[in-house]
Structure 1
Amino acid sequence: MHKQKSEEDRYVFTAEWYDPNAALQRRYQLLYYPKDGSVEMYDLKNHRVFLRRTKYDTLRKEDFYVGNKINVFSRQLHLVDYGDQYTGRKVGSKKENTLAMIKPDAVPKMGSIIEAIIESGFTITRAKMVLLSRAEAMDFYSEHQSKSFFSDLINFMTSGPIVAMEVIGDDAVSTWRKLLGPTNCSVARSESPKSIRARFGTDGTKNAAHGSDSIASAARELEFFFPSSGGHGPKNTAKFTQCTCCIIKPHAVSEGLTGKIINHILDADFEISALQMFTMEKANAEEFYEVYKGVVAEYTEMVVELCSGPCLALEIQGTDVPKSFREFCGPADPEIARHLRPRTLRAQFGKNKMKNAVHCTDLPEDAALELPQLWYEWAYP
């Protein structure tokens, strides 16, 4: 009886961590106890305890599913399998991933769409803004090649940037399509007025967003945008000129604030010209923040936060950036920001100096260094 109770109180996973010093992929058994949010780890190769049971406040029950990457004491762990049948049944039985794509007409409304995705219980695990070539669009929509609307669809889908996202949730394929609503936006407005297409679409082609129609389609479409074979998929939209860098920090992403922060940025008349979600390794976070080492007392804690989970990098364009965007972000300390500039991003979404919602480029010349670093050195595994 006691054994059954303890089994119900914990989830077991097989996790991998790449050890850069030894250039080895290490495997662990990772146990998570949802009752008190604690974790413990066993080294599978050496058959020994690696981490005794320890409370770890930044992890949530929702973070534990196969395919996710979590951060435990600055080690980025990839959950590759369920450790027992109970965990597989409890956590994995209904979990699916699917493609959620924001079409060119709705990119200006991406903050609200991302907000709707998060509020519906989905987790966004991958995201990037791309510009499809004509050949790529024809390949992606090849099943519609014989349809009368095919030419208009291809012209529309190559007319501007799109945002491709992998979302994970219970019965994700059907749940996301239900949230999307009917293909024709007029029908959506009468039959499902709270749906994405009813709220943000125009007609049957310019209908705001796309969702995979089956598990098989989801696998194919996700591979198209996020190839597992080492390629990068369609080209990102980064311009690297007259721009600045913004990173929505891991705590803000995990708290579901991504859509709200993007809305604030767009409402302030800044343009988001590129977007990419990734999880930063500790060594990369240290390099990224190197300018603050020995200057800012919180440097170590800043590094820990930046590599604690997925973050969202944005390329921002606008008048006199990065100065105007840095002012829009507000003082680094959210408490000071709330007193002096309560409408700034950090005042509204920050918690403390480390978890202050966003990083922004400090000096104009640094933007030319930060953005290529993020996009080409670290964003791709």
Structure 2
Amino acid sequence: MYDLKNHRVFLRRTKYEELRKEDLYVGNKINVFSRLLHIVDYGDQFTARKVGSKKEKTLAMIKPDAVAKLGSIIEAILDTGFIITKAKMVLLSRKEAMDFYSEHQSKSFFSDLIGFMTSGPIVALEVIGDDAVASWRKLLGPTNSCTARSESPGSIRARFGSDGTKNAAHGSDSIASAARELEFFFPSSGGRGPKNTARFTDCTCCIIKPHAVSEGLTGKILNEILSAGFDITAMQMFTMEKANAEEFYEIYKGVVAEYNEMVAELCSGPCVALEICQTDAPQRLREFCGPADPLFNFPRVQLFLFTRNTEIARHLRPKTLRAHLGKTKVKNAVHCTDLPDDAVLEGMGEIGKAGEDSVSLQASSISI
């Protein structure tokens, strides 16, 4: 690997078992030996052919009528073999919606479309896969959900849409459109795109950890959260740098034996940050994620030790999220806020600060 910033070789040929071939695509951020790297290009044509193959990026947008089915749609996307590399819940302004759908401005349905697309939050996703543009549109099904139910009953629009406008999701119709639409939601020029939907009031923070994202559990976790009656009012995918992870877990440094492992896990790959709203959200989410009562009255660190122990969760609260999706005390599927006072501090605005280094990737530099 060659470090473009410092103009030197950063890593020669070595074995790194935590890295998968599927992770090696332009635009991805990977963590190698505690260093966050941004893959900006392939080192040569041979690598591009072997690693890049037919990889394309496209926009998958979940419309207001289907946000309540967010988990099921993401499960369908992941089950098809796509990789989700960016995600953001936003509420479009009228101007933003009109700009996005400007090609339909002369159509009779334009006004209804704009009204619908600004009626509630949407979720924009960048998905990567072989022939992603065509593959995603095939998974979507026909534009009209009624037609989709007869012609493609297993498609997204057949399962979750209701008509030609409220049809659950959108997909770019060409590689050029995909590039333009992804730039709209995820600007590469340093802009922020449409504003996220975070409220930062009467809420709590939940982070789907990197191991769970990597294992394809994002959709399942979202489904369980929504099925339990929680509202997901904001969502964003990001990759955390080690320094940010250390700051995030600072309260446990020198107190919890697994502190270094926790930091390493949190910055090992993409996370999904969620803002969760419900009455008494911090306590209720803790109870949902793992053992809380009767341990809720323990001091903060003792509470942390118990609620994050997956084995204890399996014995005391076998139906909790961590009990059946967590693996270990560190890889326990999700982080949730310990105390109500921390809910806003751990909100999406505080945790989405990730740094990166840029590298050029060569196949000869990595043994997979």
TM-score calculated relative to the size of structure 1: 0.86
Which fold has the larger relative contact order, with Cα–Cα distance below 8 Å and residues 6 or more apart in sequence?
2
Aligned residue among 334, 345, 366 for 1:369 = 345
The question of 1:168 aligning with 2:128 is answered yes
Which is richer in strand? 1
Name the residue aligned to 1:191.
151
Shift of 1:380: 11
Among residues 99, 102, 106, which one is paired with 1:142 in the alignment? 102
Is the contact between residue 15 and residue 79 of structure 1 (CA under 8 Å) also seen in structure 2? no
CA distance in 2, matches of 1:234, 1:378: 19
What SS is found at the alignment partner of 2:18? Answer: coil
Q: Which letter maps to 1:53?
A: T
Matched position secondary structure for 2:189:
coil
Shift in CA distance, 253/16, structure 1 to aligned 2, threshold 3 Å: farther
Q: How many Å separate the matches in 1 of 2:25 and 2:2?
A: 11
* Offset from partner CA, 1:42-72 (integer Å, 9 cap, x none): 44xxxxxx45523x33221111111111111
Q: How does 1:58-137 map to 2 (within 5 A)?
A: 58-137=18-97
Give the equivalent residue in structure 1 for 2:332. 356
**Equivalent in 3, 14, 27 of residue 53 of structure 1:** 14
* 2:162 corresponds to which of 197, 202, 206: 202
Q: Which amino acid aligns with 1:269?
A: G
Task: Indicate if the aligned counterparts of 1:185 and 1:201 stay in contact, CA closer than 8 A.
Answer: yes
Task: State the one-letter code of the partner of 2:102.
Answer: S
Query: Following TM superposition, by how much is the alpha carbon of 1:375 offset from its aligned partner in structure 2, in angstroms?
Result: 5.6
Runs (4+) off by over 3 Å: 14-17, 372-381
C-alpha distance 64-377 of structure 1, shift in aligned 2 (>3 A): closer
Tell me the secondary structure at the aligned position of residue 76 of structure 1. strand
Q: Does 1:227 align with 2:203?
A: no
Partner Cα distance (1:238, 1:380) in 2 = 24
CA distance in 2 between counterparts of 1:341 and 1:52 reads: 46
In structure 2, give the amino acid aligned to 1:364: P
1:100 counterpart SS class: strand
1:344 aligns with one of 304, 313, 320: 320
Instruction: Work out the percentage of aligned pairs sharing the same amino acid.
Output: 76
Amino acid at match of 1:85: Q
Return the letter of the residue paired with 1:231.
Answer: G
Encode CA deviations 1:135-162: one digit per residue, 9 max, x unaligned: 0000000000000000000000000000
Report if the CA contact (8 A) 2:274-2:348 is conserved.
Answer: no
- Going from structure 1 to structure 2, the CA distance change for 1:133 and 1:127 (only over 3 Å counts) comes to same
Residue type at the aligned position of 2:111: S
Quick check: 1:277–1:379 contact (8 Å CA) kept in 2? no
Q: AA paired with 1:115?
A: E
Counterpart of 2:99, as a letter, is D
Task: Give the stretch that moved more between structures: 223-232 or 371-380.
Answer: 371-380
Q: CA deviation at 1:27?
A: 5.6
Change (3 A) 1:145 1:297: same
Amino acid at match of 1:356: N
The residue matched to 1:319 in structure 2 has which SS? coil
Structure 1 CA distance, aligned partners of 2:356 and 2:261? 24
* CA apart distance, 1:84: 2.6
Alignment partner, residue 207 of structure 2: 247
Note the C-alpha offset of 1:379: 9.2
CA distance in 1 between partners of 2:151 and 2:111 (Å): 28
Could you say which residue in structure 2 is the equivalent of 1:313? 273
Paired AA for residue 14 in structure 2: R
Aligned-partner residue type, residue 141 of structure 1: Y
**What letter matches 2:319 in structure 1?**
R
Q: Counterpart of 1:370 in 2: which secondary structure?
A: coil
Aligned twin of 2:240: 280
With the length of structure 2 as denominator, give the TM-score of the two structures. Answer: 0.89
Conservation of the 8 A alpha-carbon contact between 1:96 and 1:169: yes
Q: Provide the secondary structure at the position in 2 that maps to 1:154.
A: helix
Q: Which residue of 1 aligns with 2:366?
A: none
Please state whether the residue corresponding to 2:329 is helix, strand or coil: coil
The one-letter amino acid of 1:246's match is: C
8 Å Cα contact 2:241/2:356 also seen in 1? no
* Aligned residue pair count: 341
Q: Which residue of 1 aligns with 2:260?
A: 300
Q: Note closer, same or farther for the CA distance 1:206–1:289 as it changes in structure 2 (3 Å cut).
A: same
Change in Cα spacing, 1:190 to 1:162, as seen in structure 2 (3 Å) is same
Query: Counterparts of 2:337 and 2:56 in 1: how far apart (Å)?
Result: 37
Q: Are the aligned partners of 2:240 and 2:353 in contact in 1 as well (CA < 8 Å)? A: no
- Partner residue in 1 for 2:304: none
Could you give the per-residue CA deviations for residues 75-94 of structure 1, whole angstroms, max 9, x where no partner exists? 01111221232221122231
Cα deviation 1:323-347 (Å, max 9, x = unaligned): 0101111020111111111111111
Which residue in the other structure is 2:285 paired with?
325
For residues 372 and 279 of structure 1, do their structure 2 counterparts lie closer, same or farther at Cα, with a shift above 3 Å needed? Answer: closer
Please state whether the residue corresponding to 1:71 is helix, strand or coil. strand
